Amino acid sequence: MGYASSIGKYKLGRTIGEGTFAKVKMTINTDNGQYVAIKIIDKQMVIKNNLMYQVKREITTMKLLHHPNIVRIHEVIGTKTKIYIVMDYVSGGQLSDKMSYVKRLNDSEARKYFQQLIESVDYCHCRGVYHRDLKPENLLLDAKGNLKVSDFGLSVFQKPGDLLSTACGSPSYVAPEVITNKAYEGATADVWSCGVILFELLAGYLPFDDRSLMNLYQKISRAEYTFPEWVTESQKKLISRILDPNPQTRITIPEIIEDQWFQTNYEPAVHIECNENINLDDVHAAFSSIMENETHTKVPHTPSFINAFQLIAMSHDLDLSRLFEEQDNEKQKIMLGSKHTINETIEKIEAAAKDVSLSVEKMNNSKVKIHPEQKMTRCSRSFFTLSAKVVEVAPTHCVVEISKSVGELRLYREFCKSLTSMLTEEPRMSTKMQAPKEVIVDRDNIHESES
């Protein structure tokens, strides 16, 4: 293996992974000759996409966790332009890669991986860490065939009994309570994801899968899935208790560990709890220049990205009956999908407003206020306060969030009907796209504190 460059005592080798914001390189530690992996993150990309808090949270979380089935971060090095994260080198690749060529695992191998997954998740939960994005792509295999959990980018610290509200994760693996955008417990949500993974390991396919996000949402909410004929009764019994759509009655990790199928050949992992104070100085130092950059440099504002659970809410098949409920005194809000650029979408909002005798006042490049063409007094029945915010999903895909705080419901309905018609003149985004494997987290949610 050739080494083109180095950072400190680490000689960088070939690229073994690459994403939108980072590359992962196989690296050798020249002090001891051991292989490690280094994730290289571009600071400008972090700043541009407002991902500093998410990246820092992932690094901090992984430095605090010491378990044989969790990828460990050894140190963090910051330069003027890059962040280098030195972590375990896990040579076996992703579990999803193995599944792509073996299709399904036998009973003993699936149980081994599941046992290691449950142990690592239990370890995290006992320390108040909830992963929230468990899936085969985030489970790595080492040279000995042992599983290691990685990618804590969507993880969160949570006190026992506290609830979370941010909808995140990967659609096919998320729990029903997460999709509904209601408060949920991180522990029960992670358990559900583990159940989906176990089903996939044994069956060779996902229990919940559909090209339409709305259909996928309905299947998950109702726990609609079918076991293949080769899944045994003991396996079915355990999976059924995990994939319980009611989080209150869903099986817990201690109960999973006591399950007869789980207990077969079960050997708890031996790990030494790290009692020393974890030094996070390198993490803070690596991000300090970004903090200074944010203080002195005004980053151009771009619309927030939307997440997959909000995409569900604007599916072509969605029943919009809630829009027509007689709730004149309550704030109304609806989200519509647009297969147009942000500027084209603003133009369609203006056209829809004109269509129902409303005028548009631009607040900025992505938000407008809508009001009657003739000025009305507040006591008038026709007084109207309506706003529309356009959120970019991709260069030619947007979401329009329409909010009405006061005013006549009839106008609100007519405007929404007109705009919906204009936005759906071409095929809707949801009819062509498959449920994304990765979720782009709403930027505001990255900054949200959930404790």
pLDDT digits (tens, 9 = 90+) for 92-116: 889 999 998 888 999 999 999 999 9
Please name the residue that has the structure tokens 């000759």.
Answer: 33
For residue 448, is it within any domain? no
Which pLDDT value is given to residue 255? 97
pLDDT band at residue 444 under the 50/70/90 scheme: very low
Catalytic residue among 122, 133, 190, 244: 133
Total domains, the chain: 3
Which pLDDT value is given to residue 316? 38
Segment 326-377, tens digit of pLDDT? 344 445 667 777 777 888 888 888 888 888 888 888 877 778 888 776 544 4
- Residue 347 in tokens: 């133009």
Segment 19-33, tens digit of pLDDT? 767 888 999 999 999
Which residues constitute the domain of residue 235?
95-268
Alpha carbon separation from 291 to 53, 80, 281, 345, 438 (Å, rounded): 10, 12, 15, 34, 27
Segment 27-60, tens digit of pLDDT? 999 999 999 999 998 888 888 777 777 788 778 8
Of the two residues 445 and 265, the one the predictor is more confident about is 265
**HSE-CB for 41 with a 13 A CA cutoff:** 23
- What would the mean pLDDT of 381-395 be, rounded to a whole number? 66
Asked whether residue 110 falls in the same domain as residue 60, the answer is no
Asked whether residue 223 falls in the same domain as residue 368, the answer is no
Which pLDDT value is given to residue 318? 37
Asked whether residue 228 falls in the same domain as residue 334, the answer is no
Asked whether residue 168 falls in the same domain as residue 235, the answer is yes
Q: Element (H or E) spanning 95, and its range?
A: helix 95-102
Alpha carbon separation from 397 to 231, 313, 426 (Å, rounded): 41, 15, 12
Asked whether residue 214 falls in the same domain as residue 124, the answer is yes
Asked whether residue 372 falls in the same domain as residue 404, the answer is yes
Q: Which of 113, 119, 115, 157 is nearest to 139 (CA)?
A: 113
Query: What is the C-alpha separation between 41 and 20, in angstroms, rounded?
Result: 10
133 included as an active-site residue: yes
Asked whether residue 370 falls in the same domain as residue 384, the answer is yes
For residue 100, is it within any domain? yes
- Dmax (CA) of the chain: 79
Beta carbons within 8 Å of 109's beta carbon, 6+ residues apart: 201
Strand segments (E) across 108-255: 129-130, 139-141, 147-149, 156-157
Asked whether residue 55 falls in the same domain as residue 117, the answer is no
- Residue 67 in tokens: 């378990």
Which pLDDT value is given to residue 407? 59
Segment 182-236, tens digit of pLDDT? 788 889 999 999 999 999 999 999 999 888 888 888 999 999 999 999 999 999 9
Rounding to the nearest 10 degrees, give the CA dihedral for residues 329, 334, 340, 345.
10
**pLDDT at residue 303 greater than cutoff 70:** no
Asked whether residue 101 falls in the same domain as residue 233, the answer is yes
Q: Which of 356, 451, 448, 363 is nearest to 408 (CA)?
A: 356
Count Cβ neighbours within 10 Å for each residue of 125-143 and write b for 16 or more, e otherwise.
beeebbbbbbbbbbbbbbe
**HSE-CB for 39 with a 13 A CA cutoff:** 22
Spatial strand order in the sheet of 332-338: 332-338, 397-407, 384-394, 367-372, 358-362
Please name the residue that has the structure tokens 């076996």.
Answer: 92
Is 354 one of the annotated binding-site residues? no
Segment 397-422, tens digit of pLDDT? 677 888 776 556 777 788 888 888 88
Give bridge partners of residue 338 from the DSSP assignment: 398
